[in-house]
Amino acid sequence: MIEIKHISKSFGDRKVIDDVSFTFEQGKTNLVIGESGSGKTTIMKLMVGLHELDAGEILYDGQNFPTLGVKDKQEVRKKIGMLFQGGALFDSQTLEENIQFPLDMFTNMSKEEKLDRVNFCLDKVQLTNRNKLYPAELSGGMKKRAALARAIANSPRYLFCDEPNSGLDPKTSIVIDNLIQSLTHEFNITTIVITHDMNSVMEIGEKILYIYQGKPWWTGNNKDILKTTNPELVDFVFASGFMKEVFAAVKNK
């Protein structure tokens, strides 16, 4: 479980995150949603320590991450898996080497054990036998899946996914979403997904935090969203006229 308590962050005079609190539950896909530029990715970067907090606390199973020393922070980070928006796979390494990388760094596994783990992870993301491919040889969806395989290689307790569906077609997006959700349930991971993709919200939103202009605006789950009367959230979720009509029809029923 990860708790964020009253976190704030400014860049210069601009307050990007303003007093946000939320609890990301273990074994659930926790979504942070919001418009582009609302501060979603900043929250994630604050949580993993890529940005420094101005105020507040970030508790990883009770440990206040920002106040930890370098070594303790590294220990927490070893339990984090992260899927970046662009994949962030190492270009000079094959898929096998990419996925094996955290195992090389932090485990004393034998070569065979590492290869077994790599094959297991590739199998999980439906990239069986693609070990020797380089990132440049993969499609967008495959890159995301490969990055997900690397993120789960070291059996993380916390999984961060930054816009896992950006640039993907709706069908591939659903595949990635379902993968993230099934891995979350299977390995009882605390998963945080940053997204503005409404398909993802409806598909895997077990717990949702809606951020509006850097402030926590609404919390709930994918079923609650259909009943919401929050005007900003309604505007965000049902942005098109067509969707608004669908929403009205559902409400009237």
Partner 1 sequence: MKLFFHLGRYFILIKHVFSKPEKLSVYVRQIIHEIDNIGISSLPIIAIISFFMGGVITIQSAFGFTSPLVPLYAIGYTVRESMLLEFSPTIVCLILAGKIGSNIASEIGSMRITEQIDALEIMGINSAGYLILPKIVAGVLIMPFLIALSMVLGIGGGYVMGIATGACSSYKFIYGIQAMFEPWKLYYSFTKVITFAFLITSISSYFGYYTHGGALEVGKSSTAAVVYSSILILIFNFILTQLFLT
Binding residues for partner 1 (CB under 8 A): 48-50, 73-78, 80, 82, 84-86, 88-91, 101-102, 104-106, 154, 160
Q: 92 or 252, CB closer to partner 1?
A: 92
Structure tokens belonging to residue 200: 């993802």
In the complex, the smallest distance separating the C-beta of residue 244 from partner 1, rounded to whole angstroms, is: 36
**Distance set, CA 13 to CA 8, 9, 17, 151 (Å):** 13, 10, 12, 35
Q: Which is nearer to partner 1, 22 or 160 (CB)?
A: 160
| Beta carbon of residue 200, minimum distance to partner 1 (angstroms, whole number) | 20
In this complex, which beta carbon is closest to partner 1, that of residue 160 or of residue 212?
160
Least CB distance from residue 234 to partner 1, whole Å?
Answer: 33
Query: From CA 69, how far away is CA 104, in angstroms rounded?
Result: 24
Residues 162 and 196: beta-carbon distance below 8 Å: no
Task: Please report how close the Cβ of residue 48 comes to partner 1 at its closest, in angstroms.
Answer: 5
Buried b (16+ CB within 10 A) or exposed e, 60-97: beeeebeebeeeebeebbebbbbbbbebbbeeeebbbb
Name the residue nearer to partner 1 (CB basis): 105 or 249. 105
